[in-house]
């Protein structure tokens, strides 16, 4: 008889494939052939390449069952009831017990309620990271309203947009920040209330608690917008308890733990810190806003006996992990982790890689063992989260195939405040969940991979759009280009991430804007223009003026050609007059990738940013055996001024004379803007 069976034989390179991958490919090919034989008219788009096991595992992939939803106010109140005498907040100079913090918060909450604040209201918190900002979060949570963190150092135009767009009528701030804030909001000075000075001893038990539902808004976080206008993400309470439970289980945090509060309140990682700390009855250790990273942060973590911390890969890249004996667990996220960070930080402590967009309530996936999984693996869905990876036709892709990640379940946000059309575009119907369910289209390109014990985990591959991550912040380059287009002298702009990103340097991605102009302005003026309109993390490291716009043969913008262009070194206005000035000028120029820098040239006007500033200061300290803080370069931004500062420092505090040393620091501290 004739054998009608089709036999497939595959020869593959072990350096490129493993046996499981090849088996999967052959299985998919077999399913295509079977489908062709069954119905040759079947459209290719309708072919199902997943086998039954893959279908069960990843369509959708499910985290553990969600915990019962609890509001943020309930989570905090429970902690105060369980551990009233435990320390809730410690800023080094002041410590508040849970009972004191709750009493002060309820007193302040009553003040807010008197102004009409309640569920579905939004209260701005314009307070830098501090004991007062923690108190403000507790107070707003007690009213049932949503809190909106507003960085008071943001440009006025940005702050005004956030306040107007969100509909805020009442805000909390401190006396030192009040004068710089718009008068369109009624501001309550925390320091000017009894809540800010002494514990409230009144009868808080008789207070009528507001009725808060899981789908009420818990907080708003504004993120970069591709149209040039930042958008407010409205996050409800529904996913908070499951996230808190997951964090406690994965990190091992207990009531005896001391958790660093290092994230800027405007960065949603601060919400992760709140839940990690207070849901466990632990102590929040406030890192001063004058500390940005590097050895300053390492010393503070050690001296404060911090046991748990969330630190971005960029921050970890600036730290020496040695001497942090109390630090049991580090959660990292906000941007892609690097092999070097994993190699240095995995030994001797637990390192956890957390992934999640703001629209997914901070963290949707967790990789418990980056050292084994690899830098690109972001793990699997946490409690209450379901995920599916789809192709352009909204069809599930097989394991190991590329696709876009869609997130569903309790963690997804309500949408974008006041932007129903954008919300409908990004939050779409979930055909894999219960009727009426939604899923968030993340824009992240991923693939399922087989992790330990054959469990499917996600591997992050990049973005499906132009969005980039800079020091943990999500940046739409289009917002920068929209701001540049508002300048009357700019005729074209394109902002791109630099090639020296986190994969190569471990120092994080930076942005470069390429412009054509009428000649009536220059790179320095354009950076100043952007600084007056955008938060620090959106201001590009450099603005490069070009003569012609490079195009591909099809007429499109040639982004690769743009990246080969470099800014022209600034002419040295004045030469150094002392060896110290010369050394400082050379270090600053090298940090900017310039051949020279004039002794009176401003480091930041020459293209410096927070990242290059931290590296420059680290080089100065290593070369001259000094101990400058990063803030020094912001205070003295020219080679002459910084050299003068170094001399003043040595004259006021005797130490060995300043001599250059041929060594390069391995770790550089972060700058103020990096934490904004």
Ranges of beta strands (E only) in 224-339 are 231-236, 258-261, 283-286, 308-310, 329-333
**What is the reported pLDDT for 511?**
84
Nearest 10 degrees: Cα torsion 252, 254, 256, 257: 50
The answer to whether 137 and 274 are in contact (CB under 8 A) is: yes
**What is the reported pLDDT for 103?**
96
Residue 381 has pLDDT above 90, yes or no: yes
Cα four-point dihedral sign 659, 664, 665, 669: positive
| 290 CB neighbour count, 10 Å cutoff | 11
Task: Quote the tokens at residue 449.
Answer: 């991979």
CA–CA separation, 582 and 590 (whole Å): 12
Highest mean pLDDT, choosing among 13-22, 329-338, 434-443, 475-484 = 434-443
Residue 472 has pLDDT above 90, yes or no: no
**383, 376, 424, 430: which is closest to 407 by C-alpha?**
430
**What is the reported pLDDT for 198?**
52
pTM (two decimals): 0.81
Q: Does 3.40.50.720 match the CATH number of domain 71-81+97-213?
A: no
Tens of pLDDT along 22-68?
A: 888 888 888 888 888 888 888 877 778 888 888 888 889 999 999 99
CA–CA separation, 673 and 451 (whole Å): 37
**What is the reported pLDDT for 339?**
86
Tens of pLDDT along 420-447?
A: 999 999 999 999 999 999 999 999 999 9
User: For the ranges 202-211, 251-260, 295-304, which has the lowest average pLDDT?
Assistant: 202-211
Q: What angle do CA 643, 644, 649 make, to 5 degrees?
A: 100
CA distances for 463 relative to 189, 325, 440, angstroms: 42, 37, 15
User: How large a percentage of the chain has pLDDT more than 90?
Assistant: 50
Residue 341 has pLDDT above 50, yes or no: yes
**What is the reported pLDDT for 18?**
81
**pLDDT bucket at 315, cuts 50 / 70 / 90:** confident
**pLDDT bucket at 162, cuts 50 / 70 / 90:** very high
Question: Taking the domain 476-563, which CATH number applies?
Answer: 3.30.300.30
Q: Domain spans of the chain?
A: 1-49, 71-81+97-213, 476-563, 579-675
Q: What is the mean pLDDT of residues 605-609?
A: 71
Nearest 10 degrees: Cα torsion 377, 382, 385, 390: 10
**What is the reported pLDDT for 622?**
87
- For 79, residues 6+ apart whose C-beta sits below 8 A from its C-beta are 88, 98, 278, 279, 280, 281
List own/partner pairs for 318-324 with CB under 8 A and 24 or more apart.
318/293, 318/294, 318/507, 318/614, 318/618, 318/667, 318/668, 318/669, 318/670, 319/293, 319/294, 319/295, 319/667, 320/295, 320/666, 320/667, 321/345, 321/348, 321/349, 323/298, 324/298, 324/349
**pLDDT bucket at 94, cuts 50 / 70 / 90:** very high
Q: What is the mean pLDDT of residues 275-284?
A: 98
**Do the first three CATH levels of 71-81+97-213 and 579-675 match, i.e. the same topology?**
no
Place of tokens 């997914």: 360
**What is the reported pLDDT for 498?**
72
Superfamily of domain 579-675: ACP-like (1.10.1200.10)
Tens of pLDDT along 638-667?
A: 899 999 999 876 655 544 444 444 444 444
User: For the ranges 75-84, 122-131, 322-331, 530-539, which has the lowest average pLDDT?
Assistant: 530-539
DSSP-assigned letter for residue 537 = G
**Secondary structure (H, E, C), 490-501:** EEEEEEEECCCC
Q: Could you give the 3-state DSSP secondary structure of residue 614? A: helix
Task: Quote the tokens at residue 647.
Answer: 């001399």
Tens of pLDDT along 542-574?
A: 788 888 888 777 667 888 888 887 644 444 456
User: For the ranges 2-11, 116-125, 175-184, 624-633, which has the lowest average pLDDT?
Assistant: 2-11
Q: Is 146 exposed, middle or buried (0-12, 13-18, 19+ CB in 10 A)?
A: buried
215-246: burial string, b at 16+ Cβ within 10 Å, e else: ebbbbbbbbbbbebebbbbbbbbbbbbbbbbb
Residue 151 has pLDDT above 90, yes or no: yes
User: How large a percentage of the chain has pLDDT more than 70?
Assistant: 88
Q: What is the mean pLDDT of residues 124-138?
A: 97
Mean pLDDT of the chain: 86
CA distances for 220 relative to 162, 189, 441, 662, angstroms: 10, 21, 19, 48
**pLDDT bucket at 117, cuts 50 / 70 / 90:** very high
């Amino acid at each position: 008889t004739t054998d009608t069976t089709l036999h497939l034989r595959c020869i593959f390179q072990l350096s490129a494939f493993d046996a499981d991958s090849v088996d999967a490919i052959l299985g998919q090919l077999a399913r295509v052939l079977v489908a062709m034989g069954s119905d040759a008219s079947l459209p290719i788009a309708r072919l199902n390449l997943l086998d039954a096991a893959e279908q069960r595992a990843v369509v959708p992939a499910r985290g553990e069952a969600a915990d019962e939803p609890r509001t943020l106010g309930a989570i905090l109140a429970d902690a105060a009831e369980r551990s009233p005498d435990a320390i809730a907040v410690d800023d080094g100079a002041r410590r508040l017990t849970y009972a004191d913090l709750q009493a002060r918060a309820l007193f302040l909450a009553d003040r807010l309620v008197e102004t009409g604040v309640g569920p579905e209201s939004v209260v701005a918190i314009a307070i830098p990271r501090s004991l007062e900002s923690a108190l403000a979060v507790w107070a707003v949570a007690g009213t049932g309203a949503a809190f909106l963190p507003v960085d008071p150092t943001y440009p006025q135009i940005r702050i005004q947009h956030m306040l107007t767009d969100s509909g805020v009528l009442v805000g909390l701030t401190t006396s030192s920040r009040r004068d710089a804030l718009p008068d369109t909001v009624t501001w309550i000075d925390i320091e000017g209330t009894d809540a800010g000075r002494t514990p409230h001893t009144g009868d808080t038990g008789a207070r009528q608690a507001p009725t808060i539902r899981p789908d009420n808004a818990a907080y708003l976080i504004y993120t970069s917008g591709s149209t040039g206008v930042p958008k407010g993400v409205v996050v409800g309470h529904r996913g908070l308890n499951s996230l808190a439970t997951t964090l406690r289980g994965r990190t091992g945090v207990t009531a005896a733990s001391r958790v660093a509060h290092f994230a800027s309140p405007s960065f949603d990682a601060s919400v992760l810190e709140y839940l990690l700390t207070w849901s466990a009855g632990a102590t929040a250790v406030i890192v001063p806003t004058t500390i940005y990273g590097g050895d300053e942060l390492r010393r503070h973590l050690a001296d404060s006996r911090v046991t748990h911390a969330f630190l971005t890969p960029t921050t970890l890249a600036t730290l020496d992990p040695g001497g942090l004996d109390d630090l049991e667990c580090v959660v990292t996220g906000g941007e892609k982790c690097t092999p070097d960070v994993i190699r240095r930080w995995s030994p001797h402590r637990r390192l956890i890689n957390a992934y999640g967009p703001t629209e997914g309530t901070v963290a949707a996936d967790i990789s418990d063992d980056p050292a084994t999984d690899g830098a690109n693996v972001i793990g699997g869905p946490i409690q209450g989260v379901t995920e599916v990876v789809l192709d352009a036709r909204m069809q599930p892709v097989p394991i190991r195939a590329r696709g876009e990640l869609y997130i569903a379940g309790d963690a997804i946000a309500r949408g974008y405040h006041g932007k129903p059309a954008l919300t409908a575009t990004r939050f779409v119907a979930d055909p894999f969940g219960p009727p009426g369910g939604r899923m968030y289209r993340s824009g992240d390109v991923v693939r399922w991979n087989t992790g330990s014990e054959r469990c499917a985990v996600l591997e992050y591959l990049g973005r499906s759009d132009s969005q980039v991550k800079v020091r943990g912040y999500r940046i739409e380059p289009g917002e920068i280009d929209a701001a540049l287009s508002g300048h009357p002298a700019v005729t074209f702009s394109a902002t791109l991430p630099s090639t020296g990103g986190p994969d190569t340097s471990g120092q994080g991605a930076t942005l470069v804007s390429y412009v054509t102009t009428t000649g009536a302005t220059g790179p320095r003026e354009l950076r100043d223009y952007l600084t007056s309109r955008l938060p620090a993390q959106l201001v590009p490291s450099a603005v490069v003026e070009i003569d012609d716009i490079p195009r591909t043969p099809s007429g499109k913008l040639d982004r690769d050609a743009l990246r080969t262009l470099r800014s022209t070194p600034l002419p040295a206005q004045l030469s150094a007059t002392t060896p110290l000035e010369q050394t400082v000028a050379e270090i600053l120029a090298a940090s900017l990738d310039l051949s020279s820098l004039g002794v009176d040239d401003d480091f930041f006007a020459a293209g410096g940013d927070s990242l290059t500033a931290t590296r420059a200061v680290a080089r100065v300290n290593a070369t001259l055996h000094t101990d400058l803080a990063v803030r020094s370069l912001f205070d003295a931004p020219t080679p002459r001024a910084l050299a003068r500062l170094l001399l003043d420092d040595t004259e006021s505090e005797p130490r060995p004379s300043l001599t250059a040393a041929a060594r390069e620091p391995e770790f550089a501290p972060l700058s103020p803007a990096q934490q904004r």
